[in-house]
């Protein structure tokens, strides 16, 4: 190491899979830009756009020092608070800093070809925030008299905002208890105190009502970041926020990277929602990052939910978060009545050819007739899209599977003009083939589609209730925001009488005429090979149940299941959160699963199965020896094991799961592995590190 004398040195983060920034020299006589400005630098034979990451004092002797070509921004594109967060992310998720930065920025900002590299901050076209507020939704009043619980929440949160105090709050309030009103008041207070607010929602299109309430109350002070934006619009919104033209940002998980400085409040609505976890590339959890960001910024963070995640609940119990409960609905409407229908007995009886479809129990059928006859609405929930879940040949047993994945294909029917198009589709990679009535293996004609999805249910309903209007809400029908919004609006206004849908229907909608919710097959999520399957089921079912009877009319919920004795159902019928989490906590604790133990999942994948297995096996033995060297015992190494879905998109998948109650030891073992990765597996095998994995599939 030696001193560089007169030349200024700059650390530059580049979108490359390297763990640290690279050091460059500034041209003689030019001073280095502030941290957070983009710079154009030579890398090999290329030029790349990177982000200045502060000055470097010394460089190692053996490095051939190159010079920054050009500074691209007069002012930092990234505020300090975001750089701090990204540094934390890189270390915590074992992810190269430059890759983390490029994923946090809107696409194109680090592209050397993009003409946007010229003075992006200097001139800004004032973009008009697209309002998501639509007339069909009620106009919120801001002069409501707060309930006692809402008052209490505000009394806790307001002073912390004023005093710039880090305050993490878990707001556990049943659906309709007025949580959103608390977010709105807190945001108003935050803006009035001269600080800025970040509001996160699971999915913009599914939370149009919440977003609409923000846009109508804060007007042009709000920027909505949603997935429907083009890359250019995203860059525009980013600049608008960065330049301080907008003080309140509402967005989905990636909004946690919004270039806001001076944050006083972060809200994470529906904090339990799995969509906050990114399941590709940088596998971050936006709720966790929101808490980190609030801590770094001395801000208030409100995690709100009717069904909090077990990890947030445990944090509250351990005193790390302040727990606020809102146990009653504002409108005094009572919570719905929940009943379980045992489907097992129905399976044994042969059903007649016509009347009742296989997915419908007598109880639910009667309840539907009763509800519809009163002119009220019905919501049916089935967490599986498509028409039938698998197709097979009755002659030879051939099951139609995806060419690229180890999963069976789902049968879909779509209307194409007057005829209908039948196809077999893979829900993991999108592979699709026309559904032919002939078996490709034996040539027989006994091809059968089995199981049911939302398509079949909607089609059966159309036959059963020809005079009614039936809607279907799943990823296939909600392909565009416009279609989704018109569907939701039609159900909201009563134009549609029965809506059938996947978990998309569980999110925060408020439908005034809806009094009956039917859950067709509750076991789907319960049978997932995941440690949190019961928690996820509890959350999903309580959320869908929460849609029923939100006004003056009482709601009724009927849940069909083949596992009526599963403990989750007794807590659901009694709506006993406390009891459920008590039970869940004791099970998790016994097995050291989160939130008691921590997990890191090392995911190995590649086209060559043997190489993937070898890599996973050497990683696992290295992990064992690292754990042993550290005193052993505290870190469990599970695997290598094939992932539950062993082949996806033509790649074989094996994993090694690290588990421990000692997070430091856990991270040390992982660090040892990540730094040795190149030594024990070939380039054709990819390693992805999933810290705090939500899904192990
Ligand atoms: P949550 O977000 O907990 O589901 P909301 O904030 O959406 O609950 O409130 C449910 C309904 O009650 C909304 O229509 C809202 O406008 C209304 N509301 C909220 N707070 C009050 C209040 N203090 N007085 C009267 N109505 C309220
Ligand atoms: Zn596939």
Domains of the chain and any CATH numbers: 9-126 (3.40.1440.60), 148-331 (3.40.50.300), 337-386+452-587 (3.40.50.300), 388-451 (no CATH), 598-691 (3.30.70.600)
Quick one: 3 exposed, middle or buried, by C-beta within 10 A (0-12, 13-18, 19+)?
exposed
Ligand 1 contact, 207 CB (< 6 A): no
Q: How far apart are CA 356 and CA 43, in angstroms?
A: 67
Q: How far apart are CA 252 and CA 268, in angstroms?
A: 9
Q: Whose CA is nearest to atom 17 of ligand 1?
A: 178
Q: 382 in the Ramachandran plot: left (φ > 0), alpha (ψ -120 to 50) or beta?
A: beta
Q: Whose CA is nearest to atom 4 of ligand 1?
A: 176
Q: How far apart are CA 171 and CA 325, in angstroms?
A: 6
Ligand 1 contact, 640 CB (< 6 A): no
Give the Å distance between the CA of 177 and the centre of ligand 1: 6
Which of 173, 178, 214, 508 for a ligand 1 pocket mutation test, highest count of atoms within 8 Å of Cβ?
A: 178
Give the Å distance between the CA of 508 and the centre of ligand 2: 31
DSSP strands (E only) in 204-262: 222-225, 248-251
Mean pLDDT of each 10-residue bin along the chain, 697 residues long: 65 91 90 94 93 84 83 92 96 95 91 56 37 39 83 97 97 90 95 96 78 87 85 90 92 94 96 94 97 97 96 96 91 82 68 71 94 95 86 86 85 76 85 87 86 91 94 86 86 94 79 92 86 92 83 86 93 92 94 93 94 92 89 84 89 94 93 77 86 90
Give the Å distance between the CA of 445 and the centre of ligand 2: 24
Quick one: 229 exposed, middle or buried, by C-beta within 10 A (0-12, 13-18, 19+)?
middle
170 in Cβ contact with 177 (< 8 Å): no
The bound ligand whose nearest atom lies closest to the alpha carbon of 402 is 2
Nearest to 312 by CA among 282, 293, 290: 290
Under DSSP, is residue 341 helix (H, G, I), strand (E, B) or coil? Answer: strand
Describe the strand order of the beta sheet including 167-173 as a list of residue ranges.
222-225, 248-251, 196-200, 263-269, 300-305, 167-173, 322-326
Ligand 1 contact, 182 CB (< 6 A): no
Q: Whose CA is nearest to atom 19 of ligand 1?
A: 178
Q: 691 in the Ramachandran plot: left (φ > 0), alpha (ψ -120 to 50) or beta?
A: beta
Q: How far apart are CA 559 and CA 571, in angstroms?
A: 13
Q: What is the pLDDT of residue 478?
A: 81
41 in Cβ contact with 65 (< 8 Å): no
Both tokens assigned to 688: 């992805």
223 in Cβ contact with 250 (< 8 Å): yes
Q: In this structure, what DSSP letter does residue 145 have?
A: P
Helix or strand (DSSP H, E) at 337: strand 337-342
Count of beta carbons in the 10 Å neighbourhood of residue 605: 21
Both tokens assigned to 612: 């993937």
Rounded (10°) angle between helices 310-317 and 577-591: 90
Q: How far apart are CA 326 and CA 148, in angstroms?
A: 9
- Indicate which atom in ligand 1 lies nearest the CA of residue 174: 3
Q: How far apart are CA 198 and CA 258, in angstroms?
A: 8
* pTM reported for the whole predicted model: 0.90
Q: How far apart are CA 442 and CA 670, in angstroms?
A: 49
Q: What is the pLDDT of residue 21?
A: 92
Ligand 1 contact, 212 CB (< 6 A): no
Ligand 1 contact, 177 CB (< 6 A): yes
Residues whose beta carbons lie less than 5 angstroms from ion ligand 2: 402, 404-405, 426, 428-429, 431
226 in Cβ contact with 204 (< 8 Å): yes
Ligand 1 contact, 181 CB (< 6 A): yes
- Indicate which atom in ligand 1 lies nearest the CA of residue 184: 6
Which of 142, 151, 183, 330 for a ligand 1 pocket mutation test, highest count of atoms within 8 Å of Cβ?
A: 330
Both tokens assigned to 66: 């190159």
Under DSSP, is residue 262 helix (H, G, I), strand (E, B) or coil? Answer: coil
Nearest to 458 by CA among 556, 371, 347, 378: 378
């Amino acid at each position: 190491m030696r001193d560089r004398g007169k030349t200024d040195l700059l650390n530059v983060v580049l979108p490359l899979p390297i763990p640290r920034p690279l050091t460059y020299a500034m041209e003689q006589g030019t001073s280095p830009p502030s941290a957070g400005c983009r710079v154009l630098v030579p890398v090999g034979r290329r030029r790349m756009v990177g982000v200045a990451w502060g000055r470097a004092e010394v460089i190692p002797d053996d490095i051939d020092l190159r010079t920054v070509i050009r500074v691209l921004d007069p002012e930092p594109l990234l505020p300090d608070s975001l750089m701090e967060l990204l540094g934390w992310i890189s270390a915590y998720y074992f992810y190269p800093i430059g890759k983390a930065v490029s994923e946090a920025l809107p696409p194109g900002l680090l592209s050397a070809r993009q003409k946007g590299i010229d003075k992006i901050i200097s001139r800004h076209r004032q973009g008009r925030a697209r309002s998501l507020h639509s007339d069909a939704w009620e106009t919120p009043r801001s002069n409501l008299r707060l309930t006692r619980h809402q008052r209490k929440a505000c009394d806790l949160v307001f002073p912390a905002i004023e005093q710039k105090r880090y305050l993490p709050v878990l707001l556990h309030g049943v659906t309709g208890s007025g949580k959103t009103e608390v977010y709105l008041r807190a945001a108003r207070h935050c803006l009035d105190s001269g600080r800025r607010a970040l509001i996160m929602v699971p999915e913009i299109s599914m939370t149009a009502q919440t977003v609409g309430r923000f846009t109508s109350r804060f007007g042009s002070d709000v920027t909505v970041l949603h997935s429907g934006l083009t890359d250019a619009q995203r860059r525009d919104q980013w600049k608008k926020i960065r330049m301080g033209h907008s003080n309140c940002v509402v967005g989905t998980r990636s909004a946690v990277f919004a270039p806001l400085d001076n944050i006083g409040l972060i809200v994470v609505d529906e904090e339990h929602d799995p969509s906050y976890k990114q399941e590709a590339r940088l596998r971050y959890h936006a709720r966790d990052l929101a808490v980190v960001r609030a801590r770094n910024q001395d801000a208030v963070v409100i995690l709100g939910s009717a069904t909090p995640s077990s990890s947030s609940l445990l944090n509250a119990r351990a005193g790390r978060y302040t727990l606020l409960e809102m146990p009653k609905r504002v409108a005094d409407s009572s919570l719905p009545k929940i009943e379980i229908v045992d489907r097992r007995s129905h399976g044994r009886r042969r059903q007649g050819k016509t009347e009742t479809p296989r997915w419908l129990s007598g109880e639910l059928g009667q309840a539907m007739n009763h509800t519809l006859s009163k002119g009220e609405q019905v919501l049916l929930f089935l967490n599986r899209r498509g028409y039938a879940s698998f197709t097979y040949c009755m002659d030879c047993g051939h099951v139609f599977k995806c060419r690229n994945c180890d999963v069976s294909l789902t049968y879909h029917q779509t209307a194409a003009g007057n005829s209908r198009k039948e196809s077999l589709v893979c829900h993991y990679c999108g592979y699709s083939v026309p559904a032919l009535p002939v078996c490709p293996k034996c040539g027989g004609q006994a091809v059968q589609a089995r199981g049911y999805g939302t398509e079949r249910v909607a089609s059966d309903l159309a036959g059963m209730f020809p005079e009614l209007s039936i809607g279907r809400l799943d990823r296939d029908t909600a392909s565009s925001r416009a279609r989704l919004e018109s569907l939701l609006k039609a159900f909201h206004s009563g134009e549609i009488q029965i809506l059938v849908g996947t978990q998309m229907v569980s999110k925060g909608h408020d439908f005034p005429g809806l009094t009956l919710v039917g859950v067709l097959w509750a076991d789907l999520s319960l049978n997932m090979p995941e440690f949190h399957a019961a928690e996820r089921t509890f959350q999903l079912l309580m959320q869908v149940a929460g849609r029923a009877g939100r006004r003056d009319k009482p709601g009724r919920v009927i849940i069909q299941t083949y596992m009526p004795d599963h403990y989750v159902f007794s807590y659901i019928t009694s709506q006993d959160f406390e009891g459920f989490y008590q039970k869940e906590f004791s099970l998790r604790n016994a097995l050291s699963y989160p939130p008691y133990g921590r997990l890191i999942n090392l995911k190995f994948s590649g086209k060559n199965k043997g190489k993937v297995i070898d890599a996973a096996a050497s990683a696992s033995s290295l992990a064992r020896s690292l754990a042993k060297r550290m005193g052993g015992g505290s870190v469990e190494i599970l695997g290598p094991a094939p992932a539950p879905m062993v082949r996806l998109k033509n790649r074989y998948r094996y994993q090694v799961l690290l588990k421990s109650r000692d997070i430091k030891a856990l991270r040390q073992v992982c660090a040892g592995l990540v730094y040795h990765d190149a030594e024990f597996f070939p380039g054709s095998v990819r390693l992805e590190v999933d810290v705090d994995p939500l899904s192990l599939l």
